[in-house]
């Protein structure tokens, strides 16, 4: 039974990594329902490792992961997906020979999001429904990757580098969708983004990882007001604020 007083996502002292060796150490963070939270940091900081661990693609080395108060550490990805944890992975993972409609159909859960609600969030997908993923533009592919995650009405949406390889103008169009997913669907959103300024425009709060450790956290406003702190955190020079 979900605990209504708990955070949507809570990580406590999470160690995550490969073959039992952590590359992320002691990570504590939370995301509330309706909240958009950015996970920032330089290449190799451990952002993807964190998201993949929360999504159940890899088991944590140590620490606790709770979704709505329920401990989920170690549960496999397909079970977490059914429980409302959706990941838009780095690289999108689309099937180039399947159409947009087929991708969306395959991702439907027991109570899929109404088609109209999905098209309200991602109107560009409507004209592409019968096109194969392989012929879509990069921006359309990314919208499909997000749409596929949304049809199951996630409680927690994890998004890894939505803007990878896309023009800035497309990124400015895509990121605000995360805000609407949080406000319209009440989902908690944790997203990884290289474009820090764009990320801080849509996020409520942000955490910065460097070398697998949390080095800075704050509201988006606080971090926008302190570019010096943000810059130091990318260079690995600040302790948690």
Ligand X SMILES: Nc1ncnc2c1ncn2[C@@H]1O[C@H](COP(=O)(O)OP(=O)(O)OP(=O)(O)O)[C@@H](O)[C@H]1O
Q: Tell me which residues touch ligand X (CB under 6 A).
A: 18, 23, 41, 43-49
| Binding-site size, Mg ion (CB under 5 A) | 2
Do 36 and 187 touch, CB atoms closer than 8 A?
Answer: no
**In the bound complex, what is the minimum distance in angstroms from residue 162's beta carbon to Mg ion?**
12
147: tokens are 């749409």
Edge-to-edge order in the sheet of strand 156-160: 85-88, 156-160, 188-192, 36-40, 205-210, 213-219
Residue 43 binding: pick among Mg ion, ligand X, none (C-beta 5-8 Å cut-off by kind): ligand X
Of 18-26, 41-49, 58-66, 100-108, which part binds Mg ion (CB under 5 A)?
41-49
**In the bound complex, what is the minimum distance in angstroms from residue 90's beta carbon to ligand X?**
6
**In the bound complex, what is the minimum distance in angstroms from residue 33's beta carbon to ligand X?**
25
Q: Are strands 205-210 and 62-67 parallel, antiparallel or unpaired?
A: unpaired
Q: Which is nearer to ligand X, 46 or 154 (CB)?
A: 46
Q: Which is nearer to ligand X, 90 or 184 (CB)?
A: 90
Q: Which of 15, 27, 48, 205 binds Mg ion (CB under 5 A)?
A: 48
Q: Which is nearer to ligand X, 45 or 199 (CB)?
A: 45
**In the bound complex, what is the minimum distance in angstroms from residue 125's beta carbon to ligand X?**
26
Residue 41 binding: pick among Mg ion, ligand X, none (C-beta 5-8 Å cut-off by kind): ligand X
Q: Rounded CA gap, 51 and 57, in Å?
A: 9
Q: Which is nearer to ligand X, 39 or 150 (CB)?
A: 39
Do 84 and 156 touch, CB atoms closer than 8 A?
Answer: yes
Do 238 and 213 touch, CB atoms closer than 8 A?
Answer: no
Interacting residues toward Mg ion by CB under 5 A: 47-48
């Amino acid at each position: 039974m979900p605990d209504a007083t708990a955070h949507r996502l809570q990580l406590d002292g999470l160690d995550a990594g490969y073959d039992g060796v952590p590359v992320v150490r002691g990570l504590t963070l939370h995301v509330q329902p309706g909240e958009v939270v950015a996970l920032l940091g330089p290449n190799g900081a451990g952002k993807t490792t964190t998201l993949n661990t929360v999504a159940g693609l890899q088991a944590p080395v140590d620490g606790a992961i709770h979704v709505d108060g329920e401990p989920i550490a170690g549960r496999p990805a397909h079970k977490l997906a059914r429980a409302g944890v959706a990941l838009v992975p780095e690289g999108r993972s689309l099937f180039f020979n399947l159409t947009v409609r087929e991708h969306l159909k395959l991702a439907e859960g027991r109570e899929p999001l109404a088609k109209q609600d999905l098209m309200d969030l991602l109107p560009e997908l409507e004209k592409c429904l019968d096109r194969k993923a392989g012929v879509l533009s990069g921006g359309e592919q990314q919208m499909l990757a997000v749409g596929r995650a949304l049809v199951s009405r996630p409680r927690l949406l994890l998004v890894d580098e939505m803007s990878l390889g896309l023009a800035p103008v497309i990124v400015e169009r895509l990121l605000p969708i995360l805000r609407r997913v949080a406000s319209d669907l009440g989902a908690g959103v944790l997203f990884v983004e290289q474009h820090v300024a764009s990320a801080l425009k849509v996020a409520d709060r942000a955490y910065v990882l460097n070398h697998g450790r949390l080095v800075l956290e704050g509201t988006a406003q606080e971090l926008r007001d302190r570019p010096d702190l943000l810059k130091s955190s990318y260079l690995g020079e600040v302790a948690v604020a």
